[in-house]
Amino acid sequence: MPPRKVIILLSRGKGTWREALRIARSVDEPIILTAAYAAERIEKDEQIPGVKLSYNPDQSPIELRDTLQKLLEEHVQGEGEVGVSLVSGSGSEHAALLAALIRIPVGFRLLTMLNDEIIDLTG
């Protein structure tokens, strides 16, 4: 069973949104981090559940880490651990997100989908 709160990166990567959104629809409290260019589309879609936060993926890795940390702190502070889906996005976005979570600090489990089931890659 995945953690209650799951952070889902929804950004670059052809064909990655489908899996990311399947995860969002399968967990209790999704927190969707989306690149600014996609934010308007995501925010208006009522079928996409959860908290939706947008950021600029073209920032430097340090700026992106700091931005993600500020966006996420109020949503994950005090959680023992959260789930994280990195199926979408670039390597820089992945690194910045993981660094932000470490700095908050909050533990995390890396999640993916396999045959319509959420799999914990760290467990």
CA angle 121, 22, 88 (to 5 degrees): 65
**How far apart (Å, rounded) are the C-alpha atoms in residues 93 and 98?**
9
Cβ atoms 9, 88 nearer than 8 A: yes
CATH of the domain at 42: 3.40.50.2000
Output the pTM of the full model.
0.93
Number of domains in the chain: 1
Cβ atoms 94, 7 nearer than 8 A: no
pLDDT for 7: 98
**How far apart (Å, rounded) are the C-alpha atoms in residues 92 and 89?**
8
Reading the chain (123 residues) residue by residue, the pLDDT tens digits are: 789 999 999 987 778 888 998 999 999 999 999 987 777 777 776 678 889 999 999 999 999 999 999 999 999 999 999 999 999 999 999 999 999 999 999 999 999 999 989 999 998
Q: Which domain holds residue 102?
A: 5-120
pLDDT for 46: 66
